[in-house]
Amino acid sequence: MFSSCNDCAIKSHVLQKNGILHELSVDNHLIERVSANPFEMEEKGIADFKRIGINNVYTFYGFCQKHDTELFKLIETEKTLNLYNQNQQLLFCYRGLCQEIRRKEIALEMLRDLKSIIPKDLSFIVDSAVDGNEDGIKNLNYYKSELEDGITTGITDNFYFETLEIQRIELCISVPLNVGEDEIPENMDYEEWKKSKKTPFVTSFLNVFPKGSSTYVIVGYHREFPCNWTMKFIQKLKKSTRTEILKELSDLVTLRLEFWALSMPLFEKIEKTELKKLQELIEVNVFNHSEYMTTDINLFRNA
């Protein structure tokens, strides 16, 4: 993820291993939402939950040891950690963005390999997935470049960041989000619309993690491309009851996220019937980015 660096990447923790993730772990393990093994999808659905050790949980191969240490030192060191500092808010959002780009790059490599071995009459499915990942990577790289300008110069004026403190829930999220801002006109197909589009897809950044007795939510977006859903989400967190906030977070991970982790005690409180409904909702809404999506379940009602 670091331009011009050719050293091997290490497993970078998306959130602070020795602070945030360690505080959340039980016997040095957490639960991570992962893609299901293809041979188990008929039984489990397309998503699964795995108990993973702290050295491997919520990681991605993104930076070499040197750059991972240097870039994120401020948010990895307890003495310098300041969740309300804009430069540190930017670093949280940047690392979450980089993991998503790398995940899409790996998916793209797999899809291109897959195309060479599947029947030709099914290749259109892979072609569509390849196009989607290529578009996603291109879009996220625009924001990556903008965030890197902020890291290099120390000037974060292009972005709006806000940190909110809510009652503790043992949940970890660090992702970019695309939520229903870009509507394709009825008289245009996707390719035609994409070629005519002059601006990047509206993308915001979301971090959620417990620290001490609270959970912190760091939200960001580019000031030139503000996200309506994100602005509403911020207001809901400020004004809602704990039950309403837990429902918002439940809908968020159910409908919009593939990459999140939680403590084992919290996972054990999720009702099995809710997990079954979660699988059904993921499969139905996998390509739905509408800002108006909601569900009738609350995974965290017992949190």
Tally of residues, the chain: 303
pLDDT at residue 180 in the model? 74
In a domain, 68, yes or no: yes
The pair phi, psi for residue 46, each rounded to 5°, is: -85, -5
pLDDT at residue 182 in the model? 66
Instruction: Give the relative orientation of helices 272-284 and 242-255 as an angle to the nearest 10 degrees.
Output: 50
Sign, CA dihedral 254-257-259-261, equals: negative
Contacts of 156 (CB under 8 A, 6+ apart): 86, 87, 89, 90, 150
* Measured CA distances, 217 to 154, 261, 300 (Å): 22, 15, 16
pLDDT at residue 96 in the model? 98
Range of the domain at 190: 10-98+159-284
In a domain, 170, yes or no: yes
In a domain, 294, yes or no: no
CA distance 106 to 129: 13
In a domain, 292, yes or no: no
Q: How does DSSP assign 156-195, residue by residue?
A: -TTEEEEEEEEE---EEEEEEE--S--PPPTTS-HHHHHH
User: What total of structural domains would you count in the chain?
Assistant: 1
Quote the pTM value: 0.92
pLDDT at residue 183 in the model? 67
CA distance 181 to 262: 29
pLDDT at residue 138 in the model? 95
The pair phi, psi for residue 80, each rounded to 5°, is: -100, -10
pLDDT at residue 257 in the model? 93
CA distance 107 to 66: 26
pLDDT at residue 197 in the model? 79
pLDDT at residue 181 in the model? 62
CA distance 273 to 58: 26
Low-confidence ranges of the chain (pLDDT < 70): 181-183, 190
User: What is the DSSP code (8-state) at residue 52?
Assistant: E
pLDDT at residue 44 in the model? 72
CA distance 81 to 227: 27
In a domain, 133, yes or no: no
Place of tokens 């007795």: 213
In a domain, 246, yes or no: yes
In a domain, 185, yes or no: yes
Residues 218, 93 contacting (CB under 8 angstroms)? yes
In a domain, 116, yes or no: no
Residues 274, 260 contacting (CB under 8 angstroms)? no
Q: In 3D, which of 245, 222, 215 has the Cα closest to residue 233? A: 245
